[in-house]
Structure 1
Amino acid sequence: MNFNFFTPVSDLVLAHNELLSPQALGKKIKIHSAKKGFPDLKGVNIAVFGVLENRNDVNYIGETFQLNEVRKTFYSLFPGSWNTIIADLGDIERGETVEDTYFALKTTVSDLIKQNVIPVIIGGTQDLTYATYRAYDNIQPMVNLVSVDCRFDLGDSSKPIKNNSFVGKIILDEPYNLFNYATIGYQTYFNSQEEKDLMDNLYFESYRLGEVSNNITIVEPVMRDANMVSIDLSSVRGSELSLKQKFSPNGLDGKEICAMSRYAGISNKVSSFGIYEYKASKDDEMTSMLISQILWYFIEGVNCRVNDEDFSDDNSYQKFIALVEDQELVFFKSVKTGRWWIEIPFLSNVNNKLKRHTLLPCMHQDYIDACQNKVPERWYKAFQKNSI
């Protein structure tokens, strides 16, 4: 772990922390300070840190930012009945170039994941997701990325990377590690028809804001299948945020974004989590409080993780079979948690990416639909992607 990438939490925040209740979160976590140095990561489960990089913002005009207000608010919250150990590593400052910042972030995330520590990133711009994704290059062969965003951020991969076009780079840059990309909460009028068609042609998943607001539980299987979760604060409606952060009158509300964060935390696969597009302003209380609550719910979710994916033990699940058209769909339900999965069959005649029967997280509703002769959309997309 390279400590040199990090600057300690500011003395101003630490002085504020001293005034808090002994039960406050700020008194319960390991903090990187100038006085005590970098915290020992032995036994740490979650490492929170800032990345003060925003130069790839399409609207960048030279402004800088810091995370003091977010930390003050986060430290002032009270923890739940948690058994996880949390560390605040401080901030990765912007490097000489944006690529230097990417390198520092990629190296840090990779080191933390290898130590079984979940990195939680509070960022500047969302293109930092690209550096986080590249951290998985030597860790696992296929990555599922979930982005909570009002836009797809596909962009033109032939042009320099920006905060509204980083996904194109993720898809087309070698090594090709991306298996699935899902966007939650997109708003149609912010996305071109070409981008929507591309999402469909690549069998990626997209969930409109209206779908998510109508039934937040559709997000849970998507999060359960994710390795990386990236939240763009512009997906939140303007009334929930402070002045400089406001983007759109429509968007997710605070309760919805926190529920998604908890789903991400509960997922046994999510190994990195990021909140991006933070723009500090003078009336910052609303945004910093929302970020703090998103973090809180993610940590709460991690504390509620249950290992219910041991399908080698026949007593740990129930098996259901539904016949849809000519296809036999096999479902599994965990006895312990009641969560559902659907099997994606192995295709012997194609260059199969997964090389085995793969269980895809799904909902009880998918089984009900299959019994009524409807093919679940998640299964169809995964099956098609697996066949390419």
Structure 2
Amino acid sequence: MEFFEDLKVDYKAGNKENYSGRISKLDNQYWHQEILFSNIEDFKVDNSTDIGIVGYVCDEGVLRNQGRIGARKGPKSVRNKLGKLPIHFENKKITDFGDVICLDNNLEDCQKALSKTISKLITNSILPIAIGGGHDIGYANFNGIKDALKSSTKNKIGIINFDAHFDLRTVETQPNSGTPFNQILTENKNARYFAIGIQQQSNTKELFEIAAENNVPYVSSFDCETFTSTLKKKLDAFIENVDYLYITIDLDGFSSAFAPGVSAPSPLGFTPSFVYQVLPFLFQSKKVISCDIAELNPDLDIDGHTASLAARLIDFMVFNA
């Protein structure tokens, strides 16, 4: 694996066998009929791809954060649901670039591998949508964006995180799924962070203090019933002060009625309807540069509800991109 040289990771290229669905005599009806497949190591630019799917097969960060493991199975579960969805977008080519796979607890190498993949896609004018895996995917995705913009004067990256948790824990011994945005803000003066869906009972006082020290705007889950004009104004101000937007969705931000298959479910989360209202607003800014969905744990899912939600969110992102 020359592209991932010196990194202790595994990699599997995009594979049609991960997608299945209803057989149709007509073209352009279902995802499994239209999605393309490629190997990031051999990828050659031919302007045939608009959006790239990549899996982050890793739950080492969740394990380090004392969560319930199983998120490494997320990408496969989401693809299974995604293949069955009907297509309602036009003139967009989507390619699955496969999975970067964590080996022997080497979280940091897996993050670096995903960062290289994200950077390569963005450099080739492809919008990445990554599927986790733990929310440590956030640190990897951000660094990929940062690398792709290293030669640009427009490099102020705004992070929009739909989540019950700030994920602003300080790194005490090792990074984990609870530390990514602290790591990002500590290391990058051009990073800005906005958290949507924060639950008081899911965050310590220390985390609220860290958010305040870093001037992190946030919205409580209690204010996520509908997309209010107040939230629009806050997001408008945030978007105006950044060059690009990185959207990350932690599925544990949703109410457990919609997303039971996560390590830390909660009945107090937001609804899919709320996120469906906010996402088009973010994409209308024309600043979205990368996206991901994190924390699906198929071992804890009920009848595939959470995987189905994740797949539909990806489909909705593609529709609005």
How many pairs align? Answer: 296
1:240 aligned counterpart, secondary structure: coil
The farther-off stretch of 131-140 and 106-115 is 131-140
Counterpart Cα distance in 2 of 1:213 and 1:284: 26
Match of 2:259 among 241, 264, 267: 241
2:280 to 262, 265, 268: 262
> CA shift at 1:77, angstroms?
1.4
**TM-score, with length taken from structure 1:** 0.68
Does structure 1 residue 74 correspond to structure 2 residue 82? yes
Query: Is 1:100 equivalent to 2:106 in the alignment?
Result: no
Please point out which of 57, 72, 85 is paired with 1:52: 57
Q: Name the TM-score, length of structure 2 as normaliser.
A: 0.81
2:190 equivalent to 1:183: no
179 and 10 in structure 1: CA distance in 2 versus 1, 3 angstrom threshold: closer
Superposed displacement of residue 137, structure 1: 3.3
Asked whether the equivalents of residues 265 and 297 of structure 1 are also in contact (C-alpha less than 8 Å), the reply is no
Per the alignment, do residues 68 and 158 of structure 1 end up closer, same or farther by CA in structure 2, a change over 3 Å counting? closer
Aligned to 2:312: 293
Deviation, 1:207, is 0.9
Query: Which stretches in structure 2 are left out of the alignment for 5+ residues?
Result: none
Larger radius of gyration: 1
Q: Distance in 2 between matches of 1:7 and 1:261?
A: 30
**Structure 1: which 5+ runs fail to align?**
303-388
2:205 counterpart of 1:193 = yes
The question of 1:164 aligning with 2:178 is answered: yes
Map of 1:351 onto structure 2: none
RMSD: 2.8
Contact 1:66 1:280 in 2 (8 A): yes
Residue 29 (structure 1) aligned to one of 26, 30, 35:
35
Instruction: Name the CA distance, whole Å, in 2 between partners of 1:277 and 1:46.
Output: 21
Contact kept, 8 Å, 1:258 with 1:293, in 2: the verdict is: no
Query: In the alignment, what sits opposite 2:94?
Result: 86
The residue type equivalent to 1:145 in the other structure is: I
8 Å CA contact retained: 1:69, 1:284: no
Task: Provide the rounded CA distance (Å) in 2 between the counterparts of 1:157 and 1:245.
Answer: 20
Looking at structure 1, the residues matched to 251 and 38 of structure 2 have their Cα atoms a distance apart, in angstroms, of 26
- The alpha-carbon distance between structure 1 residues 73 and 41, as it changes in their structure 2 partners (threshold 3 A), is farther
Deviations 1:9-46 (A, max 9, x none): 456434x347356411221221249xxx9686523111
Check if 1:275 corresponds to 2:293.
Answer: yes
2:126 counterpart (117, 127, 132) = 117
Residue 87 of structure 1 and its aligned partner are, at CA, apart by 0.9
Query: Does the 8 Å contact 1:142/1:178 carry over to 2?
Result: yes
Percent identical among aligned pairs is 19
1:210 to partner: Cα distance: 1.9
CA contact (8 A) 1:264 1:298 kept: no
How far apart, in 1, do the equivalents of 2:87 and 2:53 lie?
15
How far residue 76 of structure 1 moved from its aligned partner, in angstroms, is 1.6
Matched, 1:19 2:23: yes
Per-residue deviation at 1:198?
A: 2.9
Cα 1:137/1:243, change in 2 over 3 Å: closer
Partner of 1:133: 142
Q: Is the 8 A contact 2:136 2:178 kept in 1?
A: yes
Cα pair distance change 1:67/1:106, threshold 3 Å: closer
Q: Secondary structure at the match of 1:125?
A: coil
Q: Distance in 2 between the 1:99 and 1:13 partners?
A: 26
CA distance in 1, matches of 2:291, 2:251: 13
Change (3 A) 1:191 1:185: same
Given that 2:13 and 2:98 are in contact with CA atoms closer than 8 Å, whether structure 1 keeps it comes out as yes
Task: Classify the secondary structure of the residue corresponding to 1:137.
Answer: helix
Q: Is the 8 A contact 2:298 2:304 kept in 1?
A: no
Equivalent position SS for 1:67: helix
